Amino acid sequence: MQIISEQLKKDLLHSIRDIPDYPKPGIVFKDITTLVNNAPLLTKLIESLKQYYDNMNLDFVAGIEARGFIFGAMLAYALNVGFVPIRKKGKLPFTTMSEKYSLEYGFDEVEIHIDAFREKQNARVLLIDDLIATGGTAQAAFKLIESLGAKCIEACFILNLPDLQGAQKLSKSLKVTTILDIGN
Ligand code: AMP
């Protein structure tokens, strides 16, 4: 199913700003602030996502810190379901579950509150972030959701860097939807 029109895809792609060598040399940072400050584009994107996810009987949308909060919270509101933040280590105040994942050099860790899904068994959860690159963050977030007894129905990313194969790897565990694929 086509989630957004070809025209909206083009407009969204044009709205994203490339920042070379940020946060370190060799990385081209995909800056979505120029998408989210464009009211008509943002509204069209969230409405398209709402239409697509409306009949999936979701209970929660879980967003990955920090830009996953922007899209995740708006979509949760549009779908009339709860929002769950998945945060970097040490940011959540209550008891957490945590999951480490490897980076190019070293490790990082994401956390979720143990009562994130309000003790609802088999809660149906959509995972969302702005971008998937290697997929390490999303894979760890997926494990956290399922470790609490919830079902991660699908993962959604506004941007995908297909060359890094993260979406491809993650799709072995669950359905992955990407809105814009950005090749080199
Ligand atoms: P990964 O775990 O490699 O899939 O990285 C995904 C996470 O890092 C997401 O939360 C993204 O927001 C962020 N990220 C990775 N690469 C980029 C990039 N080139 N531009 C913007 N954000 C990125």
The CATH number of residue 34's host domain is 3.40.50.2020
Query: Which domain covers residue 44, as residue numbers?
Result: 6-181
* Tally of domains within the chain: 1
* Beta carbon of 127 within 6 Å of any ligand 1 atom: no
Is 17 annotated in the active site? Answer: no
Q: What share of the chain is helix, strand, coil (3-state, %, to 5)?
A: 35, 35, 35
The pLDDT assigned to 36 comes to 98
Instruction: State how far the Cα of 53 lies from the Cα of 126, in Å rounded to an integer.
Output: 9
Tally helices (H) and strands (E) across the chain. 6, 9
- 1 in a structural domain: no
Q: Does residue 62 lie in a domain region?
A: yes
Identity at 114, one-letter amino acid code: I
Q: Is the pLDDT of residue 1 over 80?
A: no
Query: How much is the average pLDDT of 57-71?
Result: 98
Share of the chain above pLDDT 90, in %: 94
Distance of alpha carbon 32 from alpha carbon 12, whole angstroms: 9
pLDDT reported for residue 184: 60
State the pLDDT confidence band at 183, using cuts at 50, 70 and 90.
confident
Specify if 18 maps to a domain.
yes
Mean pLDDT of 109-130: 97
Does the Cβ of 16 fall within 6 Å of ligand 1?
no
